[in-house]
Structure 1
Amino acid sequence: MTGVSASLATGELEHAQQIAAQIGIRHEIVSTEELARAGYVANSPDRCYHCKTELYTKLTELAPSWGVSALLNGANLDDLGDYRPGMRAASEFRVLSPLAECGLNKADVRELARHWHLPCAEKPATPCLSSRIAYGEQVTPERLARIDQAEVFLRSLGLGDLRVRLHAGELARIEVPLDVLPTLTQPELREQIAQQFKALGFRFVTLDLQGFRSGSLNSLLSLSKATIPE
């Protein structure tokens, strides 16, 4: 099952459909409306809680018509060690995490995908586009589309692992692997990127000198102070 909304990056649905077809399994597509939830739009540190609540609510309603008696997610062991408010929603809806329960981490999952020759084995992780927006900055369809178009452009240059983070509405912070940084600072390419980003509506275009870090916005959080609904 794939949940589809403005927060799904370009190409992700098609990739999921490809894998489902290769495995030979049924693939359901569900439209979700997390952008209608105030808690999600506000983009507080518990944003993922509201997103997963929307998803699991929809799935709980649809499951009987699919003949499904249990809901599973793809969380692995590594996910349990990061700040993941969405896991609280999974617990509330009794959604199981078989990969994590079997003790499989991200590397294990990729190794299994290689064994079965699945195209996701080497695919860079692509979390929802809302995860690119700094906490406290509202999530809007326009911002999600802007981020998506910026990342599509960078990938057209041959880049793989990357993130375009949005801060203060108009500032783009580009994260790429450290070994790619020198390439992006070449004058001609640097100017090309800056002009493209400004055309998309970003006023400031920056390159993060620390390189690509998955979940880097979580470093801004004090986990002891993060508020998650009880």
Structure 2
Amino acid sequence: MELSEFFAENPTVALGFSGGVDSAFLLWAALHYGAQVEAYYVKTPFQPRFELEDARKLAGQLGAKMTVLETDVLDLPQVACNPADRCYHCKNAIFSLIRRQAAADGWPVLIDGTNASDDAGDRPGMKALRELEVRSPLRECGITKKEVRRRSREAGLFTWDKPAYACLATRIPTGRTITHSLLERVEQSEDALFRLGFTDFRVRVLGDAARLQLPEEQLQTALDRREEIRAALAPAFSQVLLDLEPRKKEGE
């Protein structure tokens, strides 16, 4: 199936919209192929501020309708306790919220940006999508992440080369309770690294320390600027550790 065929068969859709590469392209594709679509962004403590800014920017450039919903997933014990299946409970809560609002707004089909490169066996959140009958056009049409980026570039979307950015909760080890303050410390630290010019990294929590994962080509720069990095992250973490195992690039 081609995307054009999917939207011909489903001309009225609601999109779970994150502002990332996949859902941004899917929003463009829905409009490009003549579908009526409304994008729903769910604001939670797990999303950094720039994601909402990117989502609004993209929707504005495309002239797409976008609704922002808000929920505190940390109110759910099965999320805050951070079990191995946390993603399932979080995704279930987020897409249940979108489904209720989309149904009330008159949208019969709910879609998301899962692509053909996403491994269903490694994504507990996909179980929630199946249970809620959320369609994934990119996956159904066999469109990989690499293809999404290529098509996004051709479409002129600024998101085409946006680094993959998993939610902030992924920075906290499974089994450690997730709190608002801990998420804020992680976001503060990652913002600081962005301002220093680093990209495509992660600041992971290790005890009371921050463990930095950087691409191989940025490791030497981090070593050379270690005092600058330590000072920038000091308000959030008293200890900063550099993981010498390079962070793998998307798709590796």
TM-score, normalising length: structure 2: 0.80
Following TM superposition, by how much is the alpha carbon of 1:148 offset from its aligned partner in structure 2, in angstroms? 0.4
Is residue 124 of structure 1 aligned with residue 163 of structure 2? yes
Q: Which amino acid aligns with 1:193?
A: I
More strand by share: 2
Partner secondary structure for residue 27 of structure 1: strand
Please, what is the CA RMSD of the aligned residues?
1.5
Partner secondary structure for residue 151 of structure 2: helix
Following TM superposition, by how much is the alpha carbon of 1:85 offset from its aligned partner in structure 2, in angstroms? 0.5
Alignment of 1:1-230 (within 5 A): 1-80=40-119, 83-168=122-207, 170-186=208-224, 189-200=225-236, 202-213=237-248
**In the aligned structure 1, how far is the partner of 2:125 from the partner of 2:221?**
36
Deviations for 1:129-172, whole angstroms, at most 9, x for unmatched residues?
1011111111111111100010000000111111101122x121
**In the aligned structure 2, how far is the partner of 1:136 from the partner of 1:203?**
22
**In the aligned structure 2, how far is the partner of 1:12 from the partner of 1:68?**
24
Partner secondary structure for residue 69 of structure 2: strand
Identity of aligned residues (%): 35
**In the aligned structure 2, how far is the partner of 1:197 from the partner of 1:147?**
9
**In the aligned structure 1, how far is the partner of 2:166 from the partner of 2:121?**
14
1:74–1:98 Cα contact (<8 Å) kept: yes
Partner secondary structure for residue 234 of structure 2: helix
1:161–1:176 Cα contact (<8 Å) kept: yes
Q: 1:138 to 1:163 in 2, by over 3 A?
A: same
**In the aligned structure 1, how far is the partner of 2:96 from the partner of 2:140?**
23
Moved over 6 A (4+): none
Q: Which amino acid aligns with 1:141?
A: H
2:120–2:126 Cα contact (<8 Å) kept: no
Following TM superposition, by how much is the alpha carbon of 1:176 offset from its aligned partner in structure 2, in angstroms? 1.0
**In the aligned structure 2, how far is the partner of 1:213 from the partner of 1:172?**
19
2:201–2:214 Cα contact (<8 Å) kept: yes
Q: Which amino acid aligns with 1:212?
A: R
Q: Which amino acid aligns with 1:18?
A: K
Q: Which amino acid aligns with 1:176?
A: L
Gaps (5+ residues) in structure 1?
Answer: 216-230
**In the aligned structure 1, how far is the partner of 2:88 from the partner of 2:199?**
28
1:9–1:126 Cα contact (<8 Å) kept: no
Partner secondary structure for residue 166 of structure 1: strand
Give the number of aligned pairs.
Answer: 211
Following TM superposition, by how much is the alpha carbon of 1:82 offset from its aligned partner in structure 2, in angstroms? 5.7
**In the aligned structure 2, how far is the partner of 1:32 from the partner of 1:52?**
12
Partner secondary structure for residue 67 of structure 1: coil
